[in-house]
Amino acid sequence: MKLTRRKWFVLLSCIAVSMLWITGASSALIQSGRSLYAKIELFSTIFQTIQDNYVEETDPQALIESAIEGMVSSLDPHTTYFTREKFEEWNQNFEGYSGIGVYFDVIRGKITILSVISGGPSDKVGLLTGDRIIAIDGRSAVGIKRDDVPLRLKGPRGSTVNILIERKGWKNSRNFSIVRDDVHIESVPYAFMVQPHTGYINIARFSMTTGKEFRDALIRLDAQGMEKLVIDLRQNGGGYLESAVEVVDQFLTGGKCIVYTKGRIRDSFREYFSTEQTIERDIPVIVLIDRASASASEIVAGAMQDWDRALIVGENSFGKGLVQGQFPLKDGSALLMTTARYYTPSGRLIQRSYDEKTHEQYFTEIFDDDRREALENDQSRPQKYTLILSRKVLGGGGIEPDIPFTVENDTLSALMRRLVYAPERFFFTYVDQYMKNNLGDRVDFNEFLRSYTPNGSNLQKFLSYIREQGFKISNHEFVENKEDIQFFLKLTMASIIWGEEARYKVQMMRDRQLMEALTHLPASEKLVKNSYSYKGRK
């Protein structure tokens, strides 16, 4: 086996060098081929020596994968090799998976459903938030490790899984037979009216369905009287370039360049233009970004900025201007390899420099305030101008917002972190057991959002509950953290009673960046009017 593997490496090298001769290559190219052969033979020898003589037995596949990862790591920071398992996990973020459609945690040894994906397999059979899965296909699931849950619940589309459910109020547990189906992870999870006449759309990722999801959201909000819009791209690390183009296409008249790509080979040059499918030709738009907004998010923000179509508010974006091609391999692994750079309509390459930096330095420097400030104040960044109003914009380091606005994240005390992230999930279990049935049927959500604050007896009951569960907290500590405790109780109540969108709306009450963005909608309206007025003079 080992000898055969070595011969295989040598044979590949011989074939490579022979091809150079067959194609009539120059002597310099032949010499290069011989050098390449020597290096491959050296690799084979080292591999064989490790297999034969290393102090401990080694896994040959792991050694080969390490060699591949080492080779890839010498390229740019965004070229990545995925094993089959990692590729499947990565793919789920953009294409979904086949399973039962729930979000869960393991609380007190039992799989507890935190939310049910609307329209998914579990929703169709009537599973609810708070249900506990105590057996899967006849085998107990009590005491299961969290990482093992997906292995037992996911499976091929159309296959059946039988689960035993325990629910508060039931005398006995009940069995549910669920047919697994494709579970789509929405890329536009939230779209609603954030205030009268103002729509809000959050894009979490750019998947294959983002364009349609976004267009559908616009149509729904238009029907509700939307006259202004905030697009939230914060924490959106990107995805499919084509989906970003489809989003921008909703705001530009036909024939305008949205993005173009250039690389080493001829096929890497591509231009993407707007069509006549525009829905919102003149609605004022704010695009909200932060330092984690990357790739496809920067395509959207860059195109909207370059065409003077929206005001960009927030933090300087990540700075990823590289396009990855997806190359699936026979064993199920995959190579995500940079094949081109992309440019905004004004000609900006927004890629941050990664020369002479480790991958760790490259990925972490944007979260270091001092290094980030130095990047943003770099006078060597190339200057371009927007295409209608000739406003100055910068390349070479992400999308610089028209209106910079950074806030310190709300930090929790050490005690609150222990309380919120405890394995017992105290807020969830308390609300699920004691509060949801005392509020849900009597309060309208909008009234709840506007005016409800847990206090008095509810707070005292929560304090007694967590102490009974063994959480140590003094009266003084409880009072010190009262506002945060009230907030997390309200957040959890919204989630359990009305669902994830309600939870998100409560979360937004602490979102100072969003609140700031809303104040700049009049300036965005002025930008649109100036842009149309200027085009009219031309």
pLDDT at 492: 92
The share of the chain scoring above pLDDT 70, in percent, equals: 90
Distance of CA 407 to the CA centre of its chain: 21
Q: Maximum CA pair distance of the chain?
A: 88
* Catalytic residue selected from 232, 249, 306, 308: 306
Q: Do 163 and 206 belong together in one domain? A: no
374 and 459 housed in the same domain:
no
Is residue 90 situated within a structural domain? no
The CATH number of whichever domain residue 288 belongs to comes to 3.90.226.10
Residue for token pair 């002025």: 526
Q: Rounded to whole angstroms, how far apart are CA atoms 259 and 289?
A: 18
Containing domain of residue 395, as a range? Answer: 190-324+339-404
Q: Which long-range contacts (CB under 8 A, 24 or more apart) does 324-328 make?
A: 324/78, 324/79, 324/80, 328/87
Residue 306 a catalytic site member: yes
Q: Do 314 and 366 sit in the same domain of this protein?
A: yes
Q: How far is CA 317 from the centre of its chain?
A: 14
Catalytic residue from among 256, 320, 384, 490: 320
Strands lying side by side in the sheet with 311-314:
190-195, 198-202, 228-232, 285-289, 311-314, 403-404
105-114, 244-253, 384-393, 402-411: the lowest-pLDDT one: 402-411
Same domain, 241 and 373: yes
> Which of 152, 183, 214 is the endpoint of a domain?
183
The reply to whether 293 and 395 lie within a common domain is yes
Q: Do 219 and 279 share a domain, yes or no?
A: yes
CATH of the domain at 163: 2.30.42.10
Work out the pLDDT band at 14, boundaries 50, 70, 90. very low
> When comparing pLDDT for 95 and 390, which is higher?
390
Instruction: Examine residue 257 and state whether it is found in any structural domain, yes or no.
Output: yes
Residue 335 has pLDDT above 50, yes or no: yes
How many residues would you count in the chain? 538
181 is catalytic: no
Question: In terms of domains, do 296 and 442 share one?
Answer: no
**The CA-based dihedral angle spanning residues 75, 79, 83, 89, taken in that order and rounded to the nearest 10 degrees:** 160
Domain check: are 428 and 389 in the same one? no
> Considering the entire predicted model, what is its pTM?
0.81
Residue-wise DSSP of 203-226: ---B-TTHHHHHHHHHHHHHHTT-
Co-location of 263 and 368 in the same domain = yes
Domain membership of residue 63 (yes or no) is: no
Residues 6 or more apart whose CB falls under 8 angstroms from that of 533 comprise none
Cβ(162)–Cβ(175) below 8 Å: yes
Lowest mean pLDDT among 64-73, 330-339, 384-393, 421-430: 64-73
Q: How much is the pLDDT for 507?
A: 92
Q: How many domains does the chain fold into?
A: 4
- DSSP secondary structure letters along 229-295: EEEE-TT---B-HHHHHHHHTTTS-TT-EEEEEE-SSGGG-EEEE--S--S-SS--EEEEE-TT--T
Strand, coil or helix: what is 194?
strand
**374 within a domain of the structure (yes/no):** yes
Residue 12 sits in the same domain as residue 157: no
Q: Among 183, 204, 228, which residue terminates a domain? A: 183
User: Could you confirm whether 320 is annotated as catalytic?
Assistant: yes
Of residues 188 and 439, which shows the higher confidence score? 188
Q: State mean pLDDT over 181-193.
A: 89
Q: Residue 27: is its pLDDT beyond 50?
A: yes
CB atoms within 10 A of CB 377: 8
Among 187, 243, 274, 295, the one annotated catalytic: 295
Note whether residue 515 is domain-resident. no
> Based on the domain organization, do 393 and 420 belong to the same domain?
no
Backbone angles phi, psi at 484, to 5 degrees: -65, -40
Q: Per-residue confidence at 536, pLDDT binned at 50, 70, 90?
A: low
In a domain, 198, yes or no: yes
pLDDT at 259: 97
Of the candidates 380, 404, 428, which is a domain's last residue?
Answer: 404
Span 204-213, mean pLDDT?
93
Same domain, 120 and 255: no
Residue 387 lies in a domain: yes
Give the residue, 336 or 306, on which the prediction is more confident. 306
536 assigned to some structural domain: no
Q: Directed axis angle between helix 27-53 and helix 60-73, to 10°?
A: 140
